[in-house]
Structure 1
Amino acid sequence: MKWKPYLTPIRSFDPDEARAFLNHRPVDQVTLVDVRQPGEYQAGHIPGARLIPLPELVDRLDDIPRNFPVIVYCSSGPRSRAACQLMTLDDSFGEIINLTGGFNAWEGEAALGRENQGLTFFTGAETPREILEIAYGLEQGLREFYLSMDKQVKNPGVRRLFATLARVETLHQESILREYQRIIDPSIKEDQLTAAALQGTLEGGMTTQEYIDYYMPQWEDPEDVVFLAMAIEAQALDLYLRAKTRVVDETSRKILTRIAQEEKSHLVHLGELMDGLISGTAT
């Protein structure tokens, strides 16, 4: 290790700059590091962030990839700045960025739960076939949830919104089916993959009731519905990125990266939809 003088100037992003930076980079070309304590992480974290509490950082520097930028955050800034200073002592790191204001200032999409939340589906030994079947099932669960809610709400605008959300999940499933046909079985049909897929859980590894109990949405309010959809997509993005770090098979990791990128794109579109609802320009 080569050592630099302490108190090296640290590049900083405010939350808007960090969000723009993340939105314009593929999910596998930037690393988020959360240096808070596990309880803080569990209560809410930026999707895909690696939990490395500050007291453990020096012993776990090898857990952080060196080849892409690293954004470090804590609750409000002091711990992440200290973490960045420690990381700059190691010349093998490239760009290190501190998130000013930390998670308290983030006000963006967030995921919940411990580091192993939802990872009962991903032991690390999954084959590409198993990864695709799990992902297809998670998408199916969310699609069925949206379709069921379409029948329960009265607001015509919210009904159209649920129908649109269900169609998006159908597109995700079609993408997974094409990937399955490309690398596993060219002859498999939609109903066959549905039968083989994981059942009973939504994207992100939580059940329908767990999402409802936590967020308690007002079902006739379109903003509440989009907020819930964003929360589910953020949880899914977080799950796929965490799963990618433990899966051994290289093809499986690439599949998880592609799926995570799709979830990220959908999350961006949902954010734009929310902006339109707030401004009154959504159609």
Structure 2
Amino acid sequence: MMKKMEIKNIFPEDLKSFMSGHREKEYVLLDVRLPQEYIHEHIPGARHIPLHELEDRLNELDVDKKTVFYCRSGQRSRAGATLAMDSGLLNGEIFNLEGGISAYTDNTLPDYPKLSIFYDTGSLEDVLKKAISLEKGAHIFYQNFLDKIENEKIKKQVSKLADLEMAHAKVIYKQGRDIFDQDFDTLFAGIEYSELEGGLDARKWIKKVHGDDQNELCMYFLELALEMESMAYDMYRNLTEGDFSRDVVECFFSLSEQEKNHMRLVANIFKECLPRDIET
């Protein structure tokens, strides 16, 4: 029986001992940030494949080696590790560096709010309502980003993501239209959501942590978006194991595949923003 692959977390202090305890030919340290970020600073010995190019270049990696993914904060690299794992091309263990190069070099980033996503099942109605709640939170998350960002290219892509989250909510509603006692618009408007754990409002969080620096705002928001999309992908994949009808399971499979596409979209937006200290 084939062993199920999983992404293992590795912390900065453990990475140093990991590298000293393995020969170079036994592992790959992979930086998935933008080229300018890699040139500015990277962990010695790291290979570089930007996240938005990763899926097309996975064949450049030695599939039997252990692979450690890293980025600035650990969010892009987790998305990269997820896409690599799901490709089925890598046979070796897959690791994600918690906290990214910022933690590795002791250049601590402000704490990210923790996202809260459900994995329990319960009744079909409860599961579908919780999933719609998640999609509503994601939709509002991207709408909040639109209110704050100035770059028109980024706004266009983020607007597309906001629309896709709304479309997901409608797809989920369709699976439960025979058990819901409200039409979609009424249900969607009234359903509670918490886009960030504790109900923290994204606008207040952005203003508090990042001020008016557009590039920093972009990087932090997109990294949080990648975490959100990665967790949503994982959630829908887990829900496919639930005791649901074939149509509902197929719906969750389809949504998980689309969440991967969302990760790809977010990854491509990174090209439009860079931290101020490495702008060219």
TM-score by length of 1: 0.51
Which residue does the alignment assign to 1:194?
188
- Which aligned pairs between 1:36-185 and structure 2 lie closer than 5 A? 44=74, 46-47=77-78, 68-69=89-90, 70=92, 72-73=94-95, 104=104, 118-119=116-117, 121-125=118-122, 127=124, 129-130=128-129, 132-146=131-145, 149-150=147-148, 158=150, 164=156, 167-180=159-172, 183-185=175-177
Counterpart residue number, 2:7: none
Q: Return closer, same or farther for 1:112/1:191 CA change in 2, 3 Å cut-off.
A: same
The Cα of 1:167 is off from its aligned counterpart by: 2.2
SS in 1 for 2:49: helix
Distance 1:267 1:203, change over 3 A: farther
* Residues 140 and 213 of structure 1, relative CA distance in 2, 3 Å threshold: closer
CA distance in 2, matches of 1:275, 1:8: 31
Tell me the distance in 1 between the aligned counterparts of 2:97 and 2:254: 32
Q: Does 1:218 align with 2:216?
A: no
Any conservation in 1 of the 2:229–2:259 contact (CA below 8 Å)? yes
Q: Structure 1 residue aligned with 2:226, among 231, 234, 254?
A: 234
Q: Displacement, 1:246?
A: 3.8
Q: Structure 2 counterpart of 1:257, which letter?
A: S
CA-to-aligned-CA distance 1:215-249 (integer Å, 9 cap, x gap): 81122x32122113212212212321442454333
Structure 1 position 271, deviation (Å): 0.8
- Separation in 2, partners of 1:261, 1:204: 22
Native 8 Å contact 1:204 1:238 kept in 2: no
Aligned-partner SS, 1:12: strand
Counterpart of 2:259 in structure 1 is 260
Give the gaps of 5 or more residues in structure 2: 2-22, 32-47, 243-248
- What is the identity, as a one-letter code, of the residue corresponding to 1:72? I
1:167–1:252 distance in 2 versus 1, CA, 3 Å: same
In structure 2, how many angstroms separate the alpha carbons of the residues matched to 1:255 and 1:198? 24
1:20–1:192: structure 2 CA closer, same or farther, 3 Å change rule? same
Task: Give the percent of matched residue pairs that are identical in Structure 1 and Structure 2.
Answer: 7
Quote the residue 1:40 is aligned against.
Answer: none
Secondary structure of 1:14's counterpart equals strand
Preserved CA contact (<8 Å) 2:78 2:96: no
Contact 1:34 1:49 in 2 (8 A): no
The number of aligned residues is 212
Q: Secondary structure at the match of 1:180?
A: helix
Structure 1: 5+ residue runs without aligned partners? 2-6, 36-42, 51-63, 77-100, 151-156
Q: CA offset at residue 263 of structure 1?
A: 2.5
Q: 1:177 to 1:213 in 2, by over 3 A?
A: closer
2:6 aligned with 1:12: no
- 1:42-81 deviations in whole A, cap 9, x for unaligned? x85633599xxxxxxxxxxxxx9995525523659xxxxx
Scaled by the length of structure 2, what TM-score is found?
A: 0.51
Q: Determine helix, strand or coil for the equivalent of 1:123.
A: coil
- In 2, are the aligned partners of 1:241 and 1:256 still within 8 Å (CA)? yes
The alignment's C-alpha RMSD in Å is 5.3
Give yes or no for contact 1:122–1:243 (8 Å, CA) kept in 2. yes
